[in-house]
Amino acid sequence: MAEAIAAQPYPYPLPPLNQLALVIIDMQRDFLEPGGFGEVLGNDVSRLQAIVPTVAKLLTRFRALGLTVIHTLECHRPDLSDCPPSKRHRGKGSLTIGDRGPMGRILIAGEPGNGIIPALTPQPGEVIIPKPGKGAFYHTHLSDELQQRGITHLLITGVTTEVCVQTTMREANDRGYD
């Protein structure tokens, strides 16, 4: 019998490790560092630094076990063709998506602020999923990556828990992932 975690309403059976992936959502400079999009929106980004050591420990353990690691980046094409106007204009901060900020154009693929923070830099072989929306499955190749690897269970972590993390969790559940 497989090991299980004590939980309610029933014990949760653990999957074989090769069916488990770590999904790290949007640990980007634009969201976590001063001068990025998160701060422009009025967030105290210093508070987000508290999760970095925990995410780094998870990442280190998954790497040590040779398990699948997936990083997501909320980002858009330079011409913003994949960014709906409603998303671009939401927030009404001093800068919006695509504007030039202290770390380059905000939430634009390839710009310095769009990169993952140094403490969690992806290693060769780790999956990077650029995503134009909140969820990691929307207009991405995440499903294909998971299917190719035989992944059935996801451990999801990251920033903007109430937005991108929860959206990804619900998208995963709708697709049959635990």
Residue 131 is a catalytic residue: yes
Residue 26 is a catalytic residue: yes
Which residue among 26, 30, 75, 83 is the active-site one? 26
Identity of the amino acid at 105? R
User: Two tokens at 7?
Assistant: 């939980």
Helix (H, G, I), strand (E, B) or coil at 155: strand
Which residue among 44, 131, 134, 144 is the active-site one? 131
Only one residue has tokens 């049959």, namely: 176
Which residue among 75, 83, 134, 164 is the active-site one? 164
Q: Is the peptide bond before 9 cis (omega within 30 degrees of 0)?
A: yes
Name the residues annotated as catalytic.
26, 131, 164
